Structure 1
Amino acid sequence: MIVAFSVTPLGIGEDVGEAVAEAVRVVRASGLPNRTDAMFTSIEGEWDEVMAVVKDAVDAVRARSGRVSMTLKADIRDGVTDGLTAKVATVERYLAADPGTPSA
């Protein structure tokens, strides 16, 4: 499964980067495949291990703020591994096959 999630501390002001970094540290320390971009952190693994990491990441932010907002999206599919890179590679393969398509 792949989970993309975002956790945002509330009530600590506009600059939330330091608190969000605590969540990303938890994800990276998990050893599970992961990727962080400007909006979400994605993590790949089995249900129990992924959800435990998400909980720990949220708890890390809660330690800095009594209130947090979390958005989570999951792709639950048995037997898929390396989905974080394979899905992107598939899209890139289609883009390369049609050079007339504008790039993002």
Structure 2
Amino acid sequence: MSALVAFSVTPLGVGEHVGRLVADAVKVVRDSGLPNRTDAMFTVVEGGSLAEVMVVVTQAIQVVAEQAPRVSTVIKIDYHPGREDGITNKVESVERHLEG
């Protein structure tokens, strides 16, 4: 894998409670089959190419846009050709440093 993309979608114009719409976006990512993780702020998805990951991110935005008049999106990309399992290895590296 070579591309890690952290992103969040915020539906606008639909009221304060947006969990269901955000869950729809996360479902798109999970259904993609790509490695992913979701936390309180972002969903991270990893793929073999930036293009592969951005297709999934675009689909996630579009599923929310079908239900909200406006969607705000924050995206952070770590492109590292040749890296393997960055979604796990980057966290494990930090944990090793914390232990030692």
TM over 0.5: yes
TM superposition shift of 1:66: 1.7
TM superposition shift of 1:81: 1.8
Count of equivalent residues: 97
The share of aligned pairs that are identical, in percent, is: 58
TM-score, scaled to structure 2:
0.95
1:65 to 64, 68, 75: 68
**Which residue matches 1:89?**
92
In our comparison, the structure showing a higher alpha carbon Rg is: 1
**Which residue matches 1:25?**
27
Segments of structure 1 that go 5 or more residues without pairing to the other structure are 98-104
Structure 1 stretches of 4+ with a deviation exceeding 3 A read: none
TM-score, scaled to structure 1:
0.92
Segments of structure 2 that go 5 or more residues without pairing to the other structure are none
TM superposition shift of 1:8: 0.6
2:55 to 52, 56, 65: 52
Structure number with greater CO (CA < 8 Å, separation at least 6) is 2
Whole-angstrom CA distance in 2 between matches of 1:81 and 1:10: 36
